[in-house]
Each structure stands twice: as C-alpha cells, then as structure tokens.
C-alpha cells in the first residue's frame, strides 16, 4: 500500500536528518534559537516542490486558524528536540519521539473521531513501549533527555492529528503548502526579538560556511515531513505514527555504516551490549507492526 511506503520514507529521511541535527547543534551553532531560525527559514526554498506534486488551493479562515496552530508546533518542538540532542545519543533521542505518540489514539479520537480495532491498538502500544525502553538506564532511572522529548514529541503528535483534521477538508498539497509558508512567516517575525536577531547575525558565518550540509539536512527534513503528512492524508494518523516509531532503527543503521568516516557528526554508542539491546527491542517493535495489519 502506498501509505506504508510514505510512512516509512518519513523515518528513513528524518533518521538521517537527526544525525546531521546532532552535528549542527553540538558542533556548529552556539544558540538553539539561531539554529531554529535558519532551519525553518530555509524551507522556503523547498516550497516549489509541492507544486510539482499537487496544486495548492485557497483556504477558509477556519482551516487557516488550524494551520496556524500547526505552524506554531512546527517551530516550538525544535527547541526541546535540540536540547535533547545535546545530552543523548541520536538513536535514543529518536526513540523518545514515541513518548508523545502515546497520546495519538486519544487525540485522534477527540479531533477526528478515529477508532481502530483492539488488535491495532495493541500493536501501536507494543511499538511505542518498545521504542521508549531504548532509553532505559536501569534502576527505574531514565536519562534527562526524556523531559525534553516528552514535550517535543507531544507537539509533533498533536501536529499530526491536526493535519488529519485539516486533510478532511482540503487536499494534502493545500494543507502542507500553507502550513509550511505560515511557519516561515512566523519564524521571520522572531527577529523582532533582540536576542534572536543578534544571534542570527552573529552566527551567519557559521551558517554560510556549513550551507551545504545544512541544505541537505533541511531537504531531508522537508522530504520526511512531506511523506509523513501525505501518508496521514491517506490513512489513520495512529497507524502512520506507529510506523514512524522505527526512526531510531534507521539512525542506528546509519551510525553503524558512517560513524567510522564521520566520527564528529555521530554521537552514538555502538558497543555490543547497546546494539544487542536495541536490536532486540526493534524485533519486538516488528511484532507490533504485524499486529497493525491484522
């Protein structure tokens, strides 16, 4: 099914983007607010791609207000996300996206009246719990990135459900185009805040020097978001969120392949115990995926 391919394209692209994000936030930019500004602003370059896939239409005030809320979440989730990347492995941070997804079934029921079978809900929770256990450190203690990612992942989960609400009334092209444009407009207004404006100006040399890798990261992020939202427009938002929980698996694969060549970019534990633990949990997650399609 097309939605499965699209749902997988999201974590495949976002997983690689997470690794580059780790490099940008730990090695390049000093202020998270500056990184957020450049990360969002550069999306204006990719907006014409939407026109190659679908033709956006004008929207009503009601839909515009929902898209505005989506745009706010698209900016706000980045702050705790980058903070988490400063304190933990990339694949662990990726797994913590699952924390907020635990609210997706409830949010989907409230906003769009989405109801699944018991088997599908069981598969969803197996995936989410397994992904969350990737952060386990023993003795009922979790690492500190859990707080940051609980906030960030909840915002992303809310965003996904709001997108589903929008796609009931408008096409994917219309909803995704206007939400992305609004996000760019909102972040451009942030320079009215003196501290953010000074940060953007002072770190311009760092951005310009690393423009190629920054461009690649945002292209992957844009592509992953486009695939994720298009999948949501085709099927249940709960199912799409469950598939996207495989993001840390792809991060681990990328780390195993590329860490030797790009050691400064990767912040990843690859000892035998860590890898065994993660592979076992990914296998359990696969059982959850099977239940989603029963």
Query: Helix, strand, or coil here: 144?
Result: coil
* Residues 207-246 pLDDT 10s: 999 999 899 999 999 999 999 999 999 988 888 887 887 7
User: What is the CA angle 76-6-93, rounded to 5?
Assistant: 40
Distances (CA, A) of 110 to 35, 63, 67: 34, 17, 18
- What dihedral angle (degrees, nearest 10) is formed by the CA atoms of 80, 85, 91, 95? -10
Judge whether residue 162 has pLDDT over 90: yes
| Six-digit token string for 186 | 């909102």
Residue 126 is predicted with a pLDDT of 84
Tokens standing for residue 40? 């969002």
Residue 105 CA to residue 87 CA, distance in Å, equals 29
Q: Which two tokens stand for residue 20?
A: 């580059």
Q: What is the pLDDT of residues 190-214, one digit of tens each?
A: 999 999 999 999 999 999 999 998 9
pTM, rounded to two decimals? 0.83
The predicted structure's pLDDT at residue 139: 47
Closest C-alpha among 202, 204, 193 to residue 38: 204
Domain ranges of the chain: 2-292
Contacts of 140 (CB under 8 A, 6+ apart): none
Q: What's the pLDDT at 110?
A: 82
Say how far apart CA 74 and CA 68 lie, in whole Å. 10
The per-residue pLDDT for range 84-111, each reduced to its tens digit, is 888 777 767 776 776 677 778 888 888 8
More confident residue, 38 or 128: 38
CA 245 to chain centre: 10
């Amino acid at each position: 099914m097309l939605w499965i391919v699209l749902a997988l394209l999201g974590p495949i692209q976002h997983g690689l983007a997470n690794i580059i994000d780790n490099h940008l936030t730990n090695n390049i930019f000093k202020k998270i607010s500056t990184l957020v500004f450049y990360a969002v602003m550069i999306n204006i370059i990719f907006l014409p791609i939407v026109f190659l896939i679908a033709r956006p239409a004008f929207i009503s005030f009601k839909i515009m207000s929902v898209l505005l809320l989506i745009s706010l979440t698209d900016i706000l989730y980045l702050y705790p996300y980058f903070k988490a990347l400063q304190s933990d492995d990339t694949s662990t941070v990726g797994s913590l996206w699952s924390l907020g997804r635990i609210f997706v079934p409830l949010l989907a029921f409230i906003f769009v009246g989405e109801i699944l079978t018991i088997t599908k809900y069981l598969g969803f929770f197996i995936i989410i719990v397994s992904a969350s256990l990737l952060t386990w450190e023993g003795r009922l203690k979790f690492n500190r990135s859990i707080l940051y990612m609980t906030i960030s992942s909840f915002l992303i989960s809310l965003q996904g459900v709001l997108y589903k609400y929008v796609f009931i009334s408008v096409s994917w092209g219309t909803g995704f185009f206007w939400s992305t444009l609004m996000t760019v407009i909102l972040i451009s207004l942030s320079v009215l805040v003196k501290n953010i404006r000074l940060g953007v100006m002072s770190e311009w040399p760092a951005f310009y020097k690393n423009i190629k890798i920054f461009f690649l990261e945002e292209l992957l992020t844009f592509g992953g978001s486009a695939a994720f939202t298009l999948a949501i427009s085709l099927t249940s938002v709960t199912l799409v969120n469950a598939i996207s929980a495989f993001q840390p698996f792809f991060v681990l694969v990328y780390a195993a392949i590329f860490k030797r060549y790009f050691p400064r970019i990767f912040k990843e534990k690859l000892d035998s115990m860590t890898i065994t633990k993660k592979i076992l949990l990914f296998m359990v997650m696969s059982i959850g995926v099977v239940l989603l399609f029963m």
